[in-house]
Structure 1
Amino acid sequence: MHRTKQSKSVERPVAALETRVTPDSGNTPAERPARKTTVRRASLAVVAVIAGGGIALTACGGHHGSAKAAATAAPSATSSATASPSASASASANAQIREDAAAARNVSAAKITITPQNGTTGNGLNSTKVTVTGGTLTSVTMKAKATGTAVPGTLSADHKSWKPNAPLVRSTQYEISAGATDAQGRAAAATTTFATTTATTKFVGYFTPEDGSTVGVGMPVSINFDKPVFSAHRAAVEKAVTVTDDSGQQVVGHWFSSTRLDLRPQNYWQPGTHVSLTLKLAGVKAEPGVYGVQDKTVNFTVGRSQVSTVDTKTHLMTVVRDGQVIRTIPISAGADGHTTYDGQMVISEKDQTTRMNGATVGFTDSDGKGEYDIPDVPHAMRLSNSGTFIHGNYWGDPSVFGTVNTSHGCIGIEDLKGGKNPNTPAAWFYNNSMVGDVVIVKNSPDKTIQPSNGLNGWNMSWANWVAGSALS
């Protein structure tokens, strides 16, 4: 998934004052692997954004259903994932389809491409470029993510491209935000995070959560290395990565791949816990001839406990904070053929608004374009790498929420376009949620989400989690 998101329409200067960028061993570039599918449905709920290298995934993704389900042009009286809606609910679902199409019409023709692609590491120091087709660039800003240091660049005379003025710095994570307009003045936006290469003899780890942040009780520590760690050296690398907390919980690492190590306790963090991540990787071997360079300590705080349970059968979400129910919210989950994953999911990012395009996950028309491309989708919070979000829905009839499942796998909550009204149910949930909060989905006919799909290792038993440690 990413990312070009249509968020915060604040224009920034195209060029910045030149300053020296210092090496960044900061947090993880977001992972955005796309899930492809040939299944199609007319109702809209998948999120996508334009990001480095083209459109990348920010899409609602549940388990994809059969061709028979895909052939259904609109939800029928039995198309709910869990129950037969009433006649009025079916009418609302059909009305939503029409509103989906209307919402997709006012989309900018400007398409921004940022290179390198979002979430990538090991990129060259002269490989960065921003281009646009179908419009002109109005703003481009680039900065080192850890320090906020601006990177100066030059916009072409025709406002079709932008490049940094000088080579980038090694082992640094950067963020680019770009804006553009088409001939009708309709805005487009894109944001990408990527990291530059280290020397061929060095490796670094990009981590989340951020230093000094406050997170929910489900937030694991997740480290993505820019070079593979060979199995023979994983124990040494894992031993050099320690996570401690002042509540005394045991924290154990689990290798999801040669480049990803997550660490968590057996149960959710205790509220109010202070956690320290220490990386003592300097001189530690990852593979023959490749050694770590980091010696760094990061601290974060666990906030209050908030666990929200989505029941796809009752179409309700119950929000529990510190053991007390504080609100019950009507929702609409994934419809037949596009059901929402079951299981425990962790909010990994929040966007006030974003852009959703069905083409990024295979929901296309005969011309290859997305069945929908919706700007200004409000209050979007990511639950998986493959595209599961919980987000506001301004185009659906209000009667859908709490009544029928109509989405492509996301969890939709009633909202208004642009997300600027704080009184909608989606705005309330967004404003009362933080990265690291847990959202549990139950009673969906779909499978349990894979632990590696997002920050969702809680779906693995403790025994299996510990078995994935190189130190076990």
Structure 2
Amino acid sequence: MTDKNTRKIGKILAVVALCAAVAAGGIGVATAPGWANPAPESEASTPVRNEPGLAAPVVKAVELGVTPTDGAKGVNPAVAPSVKAVNGLVKDVVLAPTSGGAPVKGTVSADGSTWTTLDPLLFNTAYCYSFTIVDEAGRETKRSQTFHTVESANEADAAVYPENGSTVGAGQPIDIVFSEPVANKAAVEKAVKITVSSKQPVAWHWYSDQRARIRPEKFWASNSRVSLDMKLFGVDFGNKMIGNFNAKVQFKVGTQRLAVVDDITKTMKVYFDGKLVKTAPVTLGNPEWRSPTGYAVILQQERRSKFNAGSIGLKPGDKGYYPPLTVEYANRLTWSGVYVHQALESAWSYVGVSNVSHGCVGLLPADAVWFFNNMKTGDVVQVLNTGAAAVEPLEGYGDWNIPWAQYAKR
């Protein structure tokens, strides 16, 4: 071990020991002005004094400011600790966890009066300062003090969809779910910078204190790129909750794909970037289970999906009940069970003629294969003229059924 490493370890151990002494009441420190060494015992012993007299110059008392204050609790880890001396210099500052570990990196100002951390702190950690202050006469005073950062119970984080590096359809909103209720919504929004290569403006829409979505007025432009720079570390969510992370999320938008299903004509027309590329007959929900109208976004795609009537509230003996079955080429539109999928063989003769499903959009086998292979998650399906209500936003991604002025309203 080098002499340098030996000195560094010795310094850390000394800090831990010194902090332990503070906790035991053996050593104290003032954070208000005027704590510097007392005046010399007599003018004859030294010409340096810090009280007015008849013969010698006066040394100004050092005024010390330390952030956080001694014994502080619930300190925000993003608030940079600092030691500042007025009428003096700062040196030998060590800030480290009281339980041991590497000290926090810091820097001293050009005039030597201020030390400030360079790195963020840890949550739920007790820290101790050890530092030396030098007054204008060159006299040194060593001090220490402690503080404790925000406890783990007050940490807040978030989950974001789409995932970083993914490619999604043009109808995919950004979905952010926070681990804790957000009271300071403006502060959180300000801490998230959103960049869109197509320059489309976006708006936040809060469905609850823990869920927000973000989308442009119209579908994302084809081949655009979207990035979120989330600087939430240290952001006050409100209710004593503090953000505990920073993250960057980037995703790409594919071709703008839209499938328009019309109950009047019993057809589906598929458009890529506004150009009609496919027309297919469909069967929709019967009069008791009408297919929801408006816009929906493809949530998941499964080559085979198990359907159970119990998921829509039906039990054996109920009208419309069917035994568990597997459907082919399933594209989920709502969490409650509306899909675009291959119609059951017993329904093929009804496709393009009448409605026999429990709300799903049924396709003939060849059309179902084409849809599954050419449409992707995040792509949009619009259903017209069924007489049913529109897809609710949280039933999937029915955000597009909310008028822009209402969606973007603050």
Q: Among residues 159, 162, 169, which one is paired with 1:206 in the alignment?
A: 159
- Matched with 1:355 is 306
1:313-371, CA deviations, whole angstroms, 9 ceiling, x for partnerless residues? 21110001112111111111100011011101111221221111011221111499963
The two structures have a TM-score, normalised by structure 2, of 0.60
Runs of 4 or more, structure 1, over 4 Å off, are 366-370
Gaps of 5+ in 2: 1-150
Matches of 1:266 and 1:343, distance apart in 2? 16
Matches of 2:316 and 2:193, distance apart in 1? 49
Q: Among residues 226, 233, 237, which one is paired with 2:188 in the alignment?
A: 237
Question: How much does 1:452 deviate?
Answer: 3.2
Matched residue SS, 1:332? coil
Matches of 1:369 and 1:213, distance apart in 2? 39
1:368-387 alignment, distance < 5 Å: 371-375=322-326, 377-387=327-337
Distance 1:449-1:368 versus aligned 2 partners, 3 A rule: closer
Query: What amino acid sits opposite 1:442 in the alignment?
Result: L
- Matched with 1:458 is 400
Matched residue SS, 1:275? strand
Are the counterparts in 2 of residues 357 and 370 from structure 1 also a CA contact under 8 Å? no
Distance 1:370-1:333 versus aligned 2 partners, 3 A rule: closer
Query: What amino acid sits opposite 1:222 in the alignment?
Result: D
Matches of 2:195 and 2:211, distance apart in 1? 19
Query: What amino acid sits opposite 1:300 in the alignment?
Result: F
Matched residue SS, 1:363? coil
Matches of 1:367 and 1:451, distance apart in 2? 29
Matches of 1:370 and 1:243, distance apart in 2? 47
Question: How much does 1:304 deviate?
Answer: 0.9
Query: Are 1:286 and 2:286 matched, yes or no?
Result: no
Query: What amino acid sits opposite 1:330 in the alignment?
Result: P
Matched residue SS, 2:407? helix
Distance 1:317-1:199 versus aligned 2 partners, 3 A rule: farther
Query: What amino acid sits opposite 2:371 in the alignment?
Result: F
- Matched with 2:169 is 216
1:395-414, CA deviations, whole angstroms, 9 ceiling, x for partnerless residues? 33421111111111111112
Matches of 1:226 and 1:330, distance apart in 2? 44
Are the counterparts in 1 of residues 347 and 356 from structure 2 also a CA contact under 8 Å? no
Are the counterparts in 2 of residues 228 and 258 from structure 1 also a CA contact under 8 Å? yes
Query: What amino acid sits opposite 2:399 in the alignment?
Result: G
Percent of paired sites with the same residue: 35
Q: Among residues 295, 300, 310, which one is paired with 2:246 in the alignment?
A: 295
- Matched with 2:352 is 402
Matched residue SS, 1:339? coil
Matches of 2:313 and 2:152, distance apart in 1? 38
Matches of 1:370 and 1:234, distance apart in 2? 45
Distance 1:448-1:397 versus aligned 2 partners, 3 A rule: closer
Matches of 2:318 and 2:351, distance apart in 1? 32
Question: How much does 1:387 deviate?
Answer: 2.2
Cα RMSD for the two superposed structures: 2.1
Question: How much does 1:386 deviate?
Answer: 2.5
Are the counterparts in 1 of residues 311 and 337 from structure 2 also a CA contact under 8 Å? no
Are the counterparts in 2 of residues 359 and 371 from structure 1 also a CA contact under 8 Å? no
Greater mean alpha carbon deviation, residues 204-213 or residues 424-433: 204-213
- Matched with 2:222 is 271
Question: How much does 1:285 deviate?
Answer: 2.4
- Matched with 1:38 is none
Query: Are 1:441 and 2:391 matched, yes or no?
Result: no
The two structures have a TM-score, normalised by structure 1, of 0.53
Gaps of 5+ in 1: 1-197, 416-423
Query: What amino acid sits opposite 2:182 in the alignment?
Result: V
1:406-453, CA deviations, whole angstroms, 9 ceiling, x for partnerless residues? 1111111123xxxxxxxx211110100111111100011111222332
Query: What amino acid sits opposite 1:328 in the alignment?
Result: T
Distance 1:199-1:385 versus aligned 2 partners, 3 A rule: farther
Query: Are 1:392 and 2:342 matched, yes or no?
Result: yes
Matches of 2:217 and 2:301, distance apart in 1? 26
Matched residue SS, 1:235? helix
Matches of 1:234 and 1:319, distance apart in 2? 39
Matched residue SS, 1:440? strand
Query: What amino acid sits opposite 1:414 in the alignment?
Result: L
Query: What amino acid sits opposite 1:344 in the alignment?
Result: Y
1:361-386, CA deviations, whole angstroms, 9 ceiling, x for partnerless residues? 211114999632113x2221121233
Query: What amino acid sits opposite 2:390 in the alignment?
Result: T
Which structure has the higher relative contact order (CA within 8 Å, separation 6+)? 1
Are the counterparts in 2 of residues 332 and 405 from structure 1 also a CA contact under 8 Å? yes
Matched residue SS, 1:428? helix
Question: How much does 1:204 deviate?
Answer: 1.7
- Matched with 1:429 is 371
